[in-house]
Structure 1
Amino acid sequence: MLVEKNVALQPYNTFGIVARAHTLVRVGREADVQAVLADPALGHQPKFVLGGGSNIVLTGDVKPVVLKVEIMGKRLAGETAKAWIIEAGAGENWHDLVTWTLQQGYPGLENLALIPGSVGASPVQNIGAYGVELQDRFDSLDAIDLTTGKAFTLNAAQCAFGYRDSVFKHASKPGEAAGAQALGLADKALITRVRFALPKAWKPVLGYADIDKKMLQSNIHGPDALQIYEWICEIRRAKLPDPQVIGNAGSFFKNPTVSFEQCADIIQREPKIVHYRLADGSVKLAAGWLIDACGWKGKSVGNAGVYEKQALVLVNRGGSANPVTGGEVMTLARAIQTSVYERFGLRLEPEPVVV
């Protein structure tokens, strides 16, 4: 167990926000978590789990003990008649895992290529892109109870996946212990390993305008998994800023979902609104289009700005020399929420965790 004091967190959040951790523990194996919990000075302090830092906004120094997840490893853990079961340590880079699975001949994650963050964070957020969500490829995960130190395993049903949602984003009821029966695991568990069921009878997931455009341009109408992976990487690089160049936390707001009737009403006023009909009859609206329609693309509040190529992304305009503050990011986010609500009657919900 490696314990560090007064640690700069700017390198560990993709927004590049300046903040410090009073105490940071690097978790390279399950025993490190148990050592923290058994430590007389650290055991009873609040804990904050930090993965790849791609989905957080730091609004100040972090007083809880920061558990920096660095558990590594990728392997074929088993297989069934229908799927290969791939296991990865929670500290692995998500995109690197996607790339590795394709190199090994295990397709299924290609639509989720180039999403920033770590493997351990993927089920927390139920990440998704271009018609695939993590829950579609999920098998199970291992985690540790941050109160007792006991390990437990969750299947998909126990993770309670929703749109950019899971059991890990909800608080527990008073007196409820962590574990497989818990209804809320926010701040109560640390994910150590995640397993994915990648289909042997693979079929491409298509149907998005950007992918359709790539098929027309290349005249490839039966793409394999590697081709889709390459297209997704090209699409995302063209639309989204590289966090290594421009600090950001990826998509900042969730796409709102409305009823068919609500959508029809909005279309009467805004015929060009980008929308997608869902299987249950509801309609998903493109949050980026809503923000752009309110005139926010390219605008700034202090060093927090709205990306010129994609209004759904907020960026750090100050760079590393004069970085954005968490306060500036949230001031801009609240101003955008107000504009969208006043024009469309819709409340945008942020994706990142605000600390």
Structure 2
Amino acid sequence: MLVQKNAPLQQANSFGIAARALTLVRVASEDDVRAAIARFDLARAPFFVLGGGSNIVLTGDVKPLVLKMEIAGLRLVDETPRAWIIEAGAGEVWHRLVAWSLAQGWPGLENLALIPGTVGAAPVQNIGAYGVELQDRFHSLTAIDGLTGEGFELDAAQCAFGYRDSVFKHAAPVAPEGAAWRRGMGLAGRAIITRVRLALPKAWRPVIDYLDLQKKCEETGVPQPDAQQIFDWVCAIRGAKLPDPAVLGNAGSFFKNPTVTPEQCRDIIAREPRIVHYPMPDGSIKLAAGWLIDACGWRGKSVGRAGVYEKQALVLVNRGNRADPEASVTGGEVMTLARAIQTSVYERFGIRLQPEPVVV
């Protein structure tokens, strides 16, 4: 366990926002996590778990204790007639896990290639792309209660996955004095995920329903691609649409794709026939947030040093100098731009866009 005071965070968040952690603890094992809990008494002081910093907007220096998650490790833990069960440390880079699993001959994560961030953050956000979400491959996870140091495991049902949502985003309700805490009722600010397990299906089939992947099938003349081909296609598509955070600071997709009723969708289509939309299994319709933002004229626009990416309106970027704390974008500029976009979309379409990143 390594403790740092007044630690700079500009290189620890993909937006490149200049901020500092009053106290940062680097944890490389479960023992490190428990040592931090004991030393800093997290039951009395708030804490913040930082992975790859790819889904956060820092609006100032971080006063809560920052636990920098660096637990590593990739391994096969079990094999059943239906699936390979693999495990990754919460500090592993997500894309490295995807590439490693394919190299072992275990398909299933290829649609999730190049999603930035660490493995431990994936269940919190229920990450997803190109027709696959984490919950589709999730098996279980191991976590530590930040208040007590107690270890526990959760399965998919206990994680309460939703669209870019999970039990880790919701605070537990305040229990009556003397009442026992019931795990699964909200774990924000309490659970510290240390290891994640995924079930990769042996009866694999390609998931290629998304338009971009359909186009790749047509362009290449390959109607039934294998997992490696899908992986390569997804990497190419994302590389063409999304900026590299190491070059142009960003937090990936900034807004969730909103869902509406079929009636609402028909009303919007009557006014905007070209709107990009996808029917969902529950009967709702998912709208492309990037299209909505683009239709409001935001592509390429800026507010201060925060801008909307020219190639994908769903991505907000750092137009300042991310190598210079004095010239980089601020969290305030990012959120001012985000709120202006939300207002535009609501005024035109009657839809409230919800940000994906965590605002700290």
Give the structure-1-normalised TM-score.
Answer: 0.98
Q: Is the 8 A contact 1:178 1:189 kept in 2?
A: no
Q: Match of 1:14?
A: 14
Is this contact kept in 2: 1:152–1:179, CA < 8 A? no
Alignment equivalent of 1:238, drawn from 231, 237, 240: 240
For residues 23 and 324 of structure 1, the distance between their equivalents in structure 2, rounded to whole angstroms, comes to 23
Distance, in Å, in 1 between the alignment partners of 2:342 and 2:145 is: 35
- Deviations along 1:253-307, one digit per CA (max 9) or x if unpaired, are 0000000000000111111110001111110000000000000000000000000
Give the stretch that moved more between structures: 265-274 or 41-50: 41-50
What secondary structure, in the 3-state scheme, does the structure 1 residue paired with 2:120 have? coil
Tell me what 1:289 maps to.
Answer: 291
- Whether the 8 Å CA contact 1:145–1:188 is kept in 2: the answer is yes
What SS is found at the alignment partner of 2:274? coil
The equivalent residue for 2:120 is 120
On the 8 A contact 2:13/2:52 being kept in 1, the answer is yes
Q: How many residues align?
A: 355
Structure 1 residues 171-180 or 285-294, which shifts more?
171-180
Contact 2:74 2:87 in 1 (8 A): yes
8 Å contact 2:139–2:199 — kept in the other structure? Answer: yes
Give the alignment's Cα RMSD to 1 decimal: 1.4
Answer yes or no: is the 8 Å Cα contact 1:246–1:319 preserved in 2: no
Question: How big is the shift at 1:45?
Answer: 2.0
Going from structure 1 to structure 2, the CA distance change for 1:40 and 1:13 (only over 3 Å counts) comes to closer
Distance of 2:257 and 2:321 partners within structure 1? 28
Q: Percent identity?
A: 72
Give per-residue Cα distances to partners, 1:24-81, cap 9 Å, x unaligned: 0001001111111211676632111101100000000000000000000000010111
Equivalents in 1 of 2:127, 2:41: separation in Å?
A: 35
Amino acid at match of 2:330: T
Q: State yes or no: 1:203 paired with 2:183.
A: no
Separation of aligned partners in 1, 2:163 and 2:180: 22
Residue of 340, 343, 352 corresponding to 1:347: 352
The amino acid across from 2:342 in the alignment is: Q
TM-score (norm 2): 0.96
Q: How does 1:74-153 map to 2 (within 5 A)?
A: 74-153=74-153
By how many angstroms is 1:133 displaced? 0.2
**Which position in structure 1 is the counterpart of 2:267?**
265
8 Å contact kept, 2:4–2:23: yes
Q: Work out whether residues 37 and 44 of structure 1, in 8 Å CA contact, stay in contact via their aligned partners in 2.
A: no
Offset of 1:175 from its aligned partner?
A: 3.2
1:174 aligned to 2:179? no
Change (3 A) 1:241 1:137: same
Partner of 1:187: 189
**Relative to structure 1, is the Cα distance of residues 13 and 259 closer, same or farther in structure 2, using a 3 angstrom cutoff?**
same
Q: Secondary structure at the match of 1:17?
A: coil
* Offset at residue 178 of structure 1 (A): 9.9
Q: Which of 300, 305, 308 is the aligned partner of 2:307? A: 305
Q: 1:179 to 1:249 in 2, by over 3 A?
A: farther
